[in-house]
Structure 1
Amino acid sequence: MEAPGIDITSPQEMPAGPAAGRVYSGRQPSERTMERHDRLVDAGVEVFGTVGYAGAKIKILCQRAGLSERYFYESFESREQLLTTVYDDLSGRLMHQVVNALQSPSMNLQESVRAGMGAVVNFMLDDPRHARIILVEIVGVSPELEAKRHKSMTAFAAQSMNQLLLLSGIDPEQAQEQMAENPDDAVLATVLDAARLTAVSMVGGVNNMLLDAVLGGTTGNTERIADIALQLICSASIGIRALAVAD
């Protein structure tokens, strides 16, 4: 845990005193605490996404949030905990946007898959801070964050696998049910394993395209990246379909 620095009260926030617990400016103490928490999360997005995690000292984060350092430790134990919260927030918002795009009732299957790809690309590149935090700053910080990152990537790979199977003419839920009922079905087992590994590789490939855009200064290339991601999954579906009809 990082030790708190000297407590220098900022003009924006005064430390709790005898009036702690009272309603101030129409807000309960819990509401003011949550507001400070949210300001620190917003500051984390800005600082981690521009300066980077290594250079994001607590003093810098607090200055960005307009808070004294004592309020940092009111909400977070360390910079890593703030980074974890920021990452959870960004990856959760991204997954929500992807699922909404995939479930649009006005689109056919290929259109919805393209919309899902577009949701990923736009979330990451319309605000490059998102891509930097998710793809760069989170990497290698700690075993706990590596496990969290892997869990998040696995969740996105599962979404990609479902879309890959659908494009291959296979209902994912029915396939899983059939596999559970008949675990000796070698063909179906091969199809599902190939689809899973393909989806994992696609998530990694799309992430690398996004990273290339951020580091190469081509973040405006969103349509091309989304189109190529769609081509990749459509091409992969041909191979999965061929496995499914193999004897």
Structure 2
Amino acid sequence: MNTRPAAPHSSLPEHPRAGAECGRVYSGLQPAERTRERYQKFIDAGIELFGTVGYASAKIKTLCHCAGLSERYFYESFDSREQLLTEVYETVSTELMVQVTEALSDPEANPKDAIRASLAAVVNFMLGDPRHAQIILVEIVGVSEELEAKRHQAMSNFAGQSMGALLILAGIKASVVKQLLGGDLGSHGGGSNPGDSAGARLQAVDPNHPLAEALEFARLTSISMVGGVNNMLLDAVIGGTTTNSERIIEVSYQLLCNASSGIRALSGTDATAAAPKVTPAT
């Protein structure tokens, strides 16, 4: 199991609460640094407890005990338990998008290998540390309208990445995909910044575009694929089959490749081009 602490969320402020603490240097840390350190301890405690016992059972006292800090320090950084859950979710989902983007943008990999590596990044991040899957797929569902909106945006971002991958596997050049979908798709279809404009790629397609039918097919397919992969991961977590990651990676890749064949026909790309070779998992 991956026990590496999640990276601090990129939007983490220098001072979780302005004016939360002032005073002398202690243990070599400035007051603001100590405040930030305590904030991170609560993020780590949230990942541990929300990802194991669950949000409903992780009361503030339990979170404070896990972090080794008092409730006074909890409210120094968070207004509520839901706010901590929100920031825990943003921390882990941002780290996941970073890993997916890095895989897609690997300059040493060809497009097909990079796409498969991006799928492996998702599956391994989720199942290598099942706390991640529990938080992203289970604990935030239905908590509040705000979290539902964040969850939908995150899924749209991943669907946007999938749409780019589908078009590239269909034989459309990466440079053309970048032009079609907007934003910087990286070398193989991933955004240069994690999640940057990815969700916007799922906007309705101009019906007059020469590739309108193929693009709409790819848009809807990418949305359905994100849901399908999520359900495979959820099944693994609930069913206790998290060691089945290689099979899930291979099935996910086959789904992309099979869908890309339909897009290839609709887009009119070179029909003689070899379809992506898929090696069945043993």
Same topology, TM > 0.5? yes
Alpha-carbon distance in 2 for matches of 1:237, 1:183: 20
Amino acid across the alignment from 2:115: V
3-state SS of paired residue (2:27): coil
Aligned residues: 224
Displaced runs of 4+ in structure 1, greater than 6 A?
none
Structure 1 residue aligned with 2:229: 206
CA offsets, 1:146-173, max 9 Å, x none? 0000000000000000010011112312
3-state SS of paired residue (1:145): helix
Structure 2 residue aligned with 1:102: 104
Alpha-carbon distance in 2 for matches of 1:216, 1:146: 25
State the Cα distance separating 1:30 from its structure 2 match. Answer: 0.4
3-state SS of paired residue (2:211): helix
Q: Which of 245, 248, 254 is matched with 1:222 structurally?
A: 245
Give matches, 1:134-173, under 5 Å. Answer: 134-170=136-172, 171-173=176-178
Task: Call closer, same or farther: CA 1:114–1:184 in 2, change over 3 Å.
Answer: closer
Indicate if the aligned counterparts of 2:45 and 2:66 stay in contact, CA closer than 8 A: yes
Amino acid across the alignment from 1:116: S
Indicate if the aligned counterparts of 1:187 and 1:243 stay in contact, CA closer than 8 A: no
Alpha-carbon distance in 2 for matches of 1:118, 1:173: 23
Indicate if the aligned counterparts of 2:164 and 2:181 stay in contact, CA closer than 8 A: no
TM-score of the superposed pair, with normalisation by structure 1: 0.87
Alpha-carbon distance in 2 for matches of 1:189, 1:80: 41
Give matches, 1:1-247, under 5 Å. Answer: 20-170=22-172, 171-176=176-181, 183-185=206-208, 187-245=210-268
Identity %: 63
Indicate if the aligned counterparts of 1:44 and 1:86 stay in contact, CA closer than 8 A: yes
State the Cα distance separating 1:187 from its structure 2 match. Answer: 4.7
Indicate if the aligned counterparts of 2:96 and 2:125 stay in contact, CA closer than 8 A: yes
Moved more, 209-218 or 188-197: 188-197
Structure 2 residue aligned with 1:7: none
3-state SS of paired residue (1:122): helix
Indicate if the aligned counterparts of 1:157 and 1:199 stay in contact, CA closer than 8 A: yes
Amino acid across the alignment from 1:213: A
List alignment gaps of at least 5 residues for structure 2. 1-20, 183-204, 270-282
3-state SS of paired residue (1:50): coil
State the Cα distance separating 1:186 from its structure 2 match. Answer: 5.3
Amino acid across the alignment from 2:42: L
Indicate if the aligned counterparts of 1:162 and 1:172 stay in contact, CA closer than 8 A: yes
State the Cα distance separating 1:188 from its structure 2 match. Answer: 1.7
CA offsets, 1:97-127, max 9 Å, x none? 0010111122211111110000000000000
Greater helix share, structure number:
1
Task: Call closer, same or farther: CA 1:164–1:184 in 2, change over 3 Å.
Answer: closer
Task: Call closer, same or farther: CA 1:75–1:229 in 2, change over 3 Å.
Answer: same
3-state SS of paired residue (1:124): helix
3-state SS of paired residue (1:94): helix
Alpha-carbon distance in 2 for matches of 1:84, 1:176: 29
Indicate if the aligned counterparts of 1:48 and 1:56 stay in contact, CA closer than 8 A: yes
TM-score of the superposed pair, with normalisation by structure 2: 0.77
Amino acid across the alignment from 1:71: Y
Amino acid across the alignment from 1:126: G
List alignment gaps of at least 5 residues for structure 1. 1-18
Alpha-carbon distance in 2 for matches of 1:225, 1:176: 28
Tell me which structure has the larger Cα radius of gyration. Answer: 1
Alpha-carbon distance in 1 for matches of 2:98, 2:180: 25
